[in-house]
Amino acid sequence: MRRILPLILTLLVVSALVATGCGGTGGTQPPGPVQPAMCTLRVQSTSPYVWGYVWVNGMNTGVYLDPMGVAQVGQYPCGQQVSVQIVDEFGQFSHIEVVTMVSPVTTLNFSWW
């Protein structure tokens, strides 16, 4: 009987460890992909002849830039290059400016159409 008691206790401890796991709280999720930092694009008109809707990467942002005004356009990943154009209410497109987004705010000046 003395030999059986330690054997039974050992089996109970081993079965308890198998049933609960070895000190873990269950599976943990691996870390997700790192999200890129976002930078704000600010477009500024430095001319009374530059105004209209701001287009970024060929798409209308819906943000209107007043003559000699400033418009916060949106957020884009830092380090990414974006192309910016102004389109007036008559559908005339300005020249294209390409800018690299830098943290925290990237300011782009439009001084000519």
Q: What is the pLDDT of residues 7-58, one digit of tens each?
A: 676 766 777 766 666 555 556 777 777 778 999 999 999 999 999 999 999 9
Q: In this predicted model, which residue has the larger pLDDT, 30 or 93? A: 93
pLDDT of residue 23: 57
Residue 7 lies in a domain: no
The 10 Å CB-count burial string (b at 16+, else e) for 6-44 is: eeeeeeeeeeeeeeeeeeeeeeeeeeeeeeeeebbbebe
Residue 77 lies in a domain: yes
Is 23 in a helix, a strand, or coil? coil
CA distance readout (Å), 105 to 28, 42, 81: 37, 7, 14
Residue 27 lies in a domain: no
Residue 101 lies in a domain: yes
Residue 18 lies in a domain: no
Q: What is the pTM of this model?
A: 0.69
Residue 10 lies in a domain: no
pLDDT of residue 7: 67
Q: In this predicted model, which residue has the larger pLDDT, 15 or 100? A: 100
Give long-range contacts, CB 8 A cutoff, 24+ apart: 67-71. Answer: 69/44, 69/45, 70/42, 70/43, 70/44, 70/45, 71/42, 71/43, 71/44
Q: Return d(Cα 41, Cα 22) in angstroms, integer.
A: 51
User: Could you tell me the residue range of the domain that residue 64 belongs to?
Assistant: 38-110
Whichever domain contains 61, its CATH number is 2.60.40
Residue type, position 53, single letter: Y
Residue 104 lies in a domain: yes
Residue 98 lies in a domain: yes
Tell me how many domains the chain contains.
1
